[in-house]
Structure 1
Amino acid sequence: MSTSTLIMAVHAQEILDSRGNPTLTVTVELGGGLQASASVPSGASTGANEAVELRDGDASRYGGKGVRKAVVSVEQAIADAVRGLDALDQAALDHRLIDLDGTSNKARLGANAMLGVSMAVARAAAAAQELPLYAYLGGRGATLLPMPSMNVLNGGKHADSGLDFQEFMIVPVGAPSFAEAMRFGAETYAALRRLLRKDRLSTAVGDEGGFAPALPSNEAACDYIVAAIEEAGYKPGVDVAIALDPAASSFGSNGSYYVGRNGGRIDRAGLLELYGRWIETYPIVSIEDGFAEDDWQGFVDQNAAQGGQIQVMGDDITVTNPRFIQEAIERKAMNAVLIKLNQIGTVTETVSAVNLCHRTGWKVMVSHRSGETIDSFIADFAVATAAGQIKSGAPCRGERLAKYNRLMVIERELGDKAVFANPFANQPRLQERVQ
């Protein structure tokens, strides 16, 4: 063991995320003098079973959202516990953190404190090995660039647009490379801005960079996106498709849903029927969190009825936790899982969640959070784990573009080794559109 990769010191600092709320950045120093840092995101639409952030609860500072307690966790308990560990052994580090916390949801030390340390150590180890982060975490086989899903219209908890559904995304399924996928997306986004302005609708953006106009219906969002795809010179469903994140936990529970823009309260079967109509009408390739996190039957029904046509993805119901993902596998509740590092709290546990999906043959999408920083860790992580998909918001706002721009750099670094593939190529409806 080289002393140059031993962890010598760990520091943390309270900073602000993209919503102006506190989060923290963690810096790790190794024996050779090398330092590396990582910043932690925070979500607005969160699952009940996510790992818990440690917040101060002091109403006199940041409305109680301060993270000074998390900083103390890093600089005292965690620093003492990890000092002297080899940064090259990520699993040993993460298991030390898990054992030190001793809770099922990271509540004692805080998932934000633990994840900041876990990510910073991974980045320091990669630098010590003189490797890009994706190559350090994923090895020589880390060559797959992810298909981006870009949030271009915001609703739900991410904006005040009045839309019931949280995210309406564009997916450049016809692009031949990641860089071209970003061009397809940026041009469609620009076309959408022009159409909204033409109709004198707001082009102010929500938390994730998508526009937040006051539209008359949820369907109108899809209509505008299809029009924007065509306005940009692309074919809907052939070049650019649509993905949805209704975030149904925000408007329903126990099999009952209030979809105000679609007539009010409907039951599980009614919501499934609504999705079915949309799938037939619009070039939709993926629906994430189409039902609430407590509605397992809704996911099971959707996967049985629509899983052969689209990607049925879990997020709030699976929370990047292998235990819940395994339950979803046994119930046949979906065919894809969203992955967020801060839902589980360590790099090692997140890798385990991805690997479980891969072994099952399920698709994976690595995701940002609505409260983000300019840290691009998830871009490298998506390549390292061969996720195949990523969402990081609109092609707008620096904290979103940091991830997309990093992926374009990675693609260029990989050169001829870079692989970019459409994860939805086998969907029968897309094949029909191509024909």
Structure 2
Amino acid sequence: MKNIKYDFKTVIDRRNTNSMKWDYFGDELPMWVADMDFKVAPAIQEAILKRINHPVYGYTIVPDELFDSYIGWWDRRYGFKMSKENMLYSIGIMPSISSIIRCLTDDGDEILIQSPVYHVFFHVIEENNRKVVENQLVYENGKYSIDFNDLEDKLSKVKMMILCNPHNPIGKLWSKEDLARIGDLCSKHDVILVSDEIHCDLTDNGLKYNPFELSSNNKNTITCLSPSKSFNIAGFKSSIVHTKNKEFLESIETQMHIDNSDSCNVFASIAVIAAYNESEEWLDGLKYVLFENRSFVKKYLEEELPMIKLVESDATYLLWLDCSGLKMPSRELSDFLRKKQGLFLSPGVEFGQNGDDFLRMNIACPEKLLKDGLKRLKDGINDLNTVNKVLH
């Protein structure tokens, strides 16, 4: 085990903190929603405490230092050079995408997503009176790939595509070749490409994600970025939109102002700046812990639950579990595990109908909680086998 100077082992009691993960559904072990159960990076907490000591918490502006922190981070780690003139502040990636949909598409327009994919993509499209078009990812021999023939056919009919890079829930790092091909097809069919890259920092050590804007010459590209997953600061509600398309930028800026999604709370910029400028070593330690957690799950499943397969992945802290061997719809399986073991995993059908053989598991937690979750999973499957024997 690598010697890591930060504490990723202590179990933090998050109950009674109005936590969506721990307080919303009662006395369960929640391994569903995408936030982490680790202590925040010390530099972030120290920066917040320093601001708290000033006794006035009024309206605040977005400082240049926030944009500079994004620019420095993406240049330093990924060679992606951004400029402040191409960036807009927003309270979150999904509010940004909602605004982008409203200002760059019309009621009834079709928007393409690649399922199984983050379930809120479905909601944000449908709730804005647009239509979902699915380019279903191909699952063969435990790996996912893109059906490019189907993708091109559908891009010829849609107005916009929302890309997930890296992909949630399958943990796929898209290659430069895949991204370039997507960009070429979007250019060919005049499709606006919106790339959600919120999980980009959470790759295995030694691997780096490929920013879409570095992988494609597509001129109609909009990138959405945030430190909320990488540093577990989603509660501060902070993100940016980046595009070199000035017409898009002006339209999005106007729409976000109309939607009141362009304001900054008093602590958000402080947290972001401390994350990007002072917490890089913490993130590298986190990535090692997540890799170790995923390796532990893989070994556990192979030895204790061979009927469940871990889908190969190289990014995010969300595992995609192939439960097709159980021959049970994912929502029924998820409900069964919650009822019998108090284990809350996300049913794969939430991410698209082609996700119905899967469960999603969040492993961003101390080892003690991870082992507890896996034991509950094993006990739940044993319960399920017992029930099936009785019924048959």
TM range (shorter): 0.3 to 0.5
TM-score normalised over the length of structure 1: 0.31
TM-score normalised over the length of structure 2: 0.33
